[in-house]
Amino acid sequence: MIKVLVNGFGTIGKRVAEAVQKQEDMKLYGISDVSRGPEMETLLSPEGELHKVDIYASNKEGAQKLKQDNIEIEGTLEEHSDEIDIVVDSTPSGVDKLNKENIYQPNNLKAIFQGGAPDDIAEVKFNADANYQQANGENYVKVVSCNTTSLSRTMNTLEGKLRS
C-alpha cells in the first residue's frame, strides 16, 4: 500500500486527495497546508468526503497558523516524512520549488508536482499515455497541464496509427 500525502489543499489538492482515497493500492496518509481554507473546512467536515483524514502542516510556520485557526494537526510534513512514500505537491508555483529544496530532497521524499510547477522542477514531465516507463522509479515527476495531456494523448494515438 503506497502512503500518499497531498501537500496543498486547494482546488487541485482536494481532487488529488479524493482520487487517492479511491485507489485500492494507495492510502491517503493525510493532507498538509499552511492555512485553513474553504476546501479544508468543507471536505473535512463530518459530512465531507475526507472526514477524519489526518491534517499536517507543510512547515513550522504553517503549524503555528493552523493552530491559531483552531485546526488540529498531527504535526508537520517533515516530522512524518519517514512514514510517507510519496507527496503530491499541489502548492502554488514557487512554493513547490521551495518544498522540494527544503523538505523533499533533505528527507529523501519522492514527489509529484502539478502542471503549474516550473519545468525545471523535475527531469520527467509525465503523461501516462506517452511516457509511463520513463517516469517509473523517478524521485521527482511533473504532471503536465491538462492542455498538454490532451495534446499528448492525441499525438500518441496518431503516432501509433502511423506505425501500424
Q: Residue 140 gets which letter from DSSP?
A: E
Report the C-alpha dihedral over residues 65, 68, 69, 74, rounded to 10 degrees. 70
Annotated catalytic residue 146: yes
For every residue of 43-96, DSSP letters joined together read HHSTTSTTTT--EEESSHHHHHHHHHTT-----BTGGGGGG-SEEEE-PPTTHH
What amino acid is encoded at 58 in this protein? Answer: S
Q: Residues 72, 146, 162, 164: which is the catalytic one?
A: 146
Q: Whose grid coordinates read 489538492?
A: 13
φ, ψ (nearest 5 deg) of residue 52: 75, 10
Catalytic residues, which ones? 146
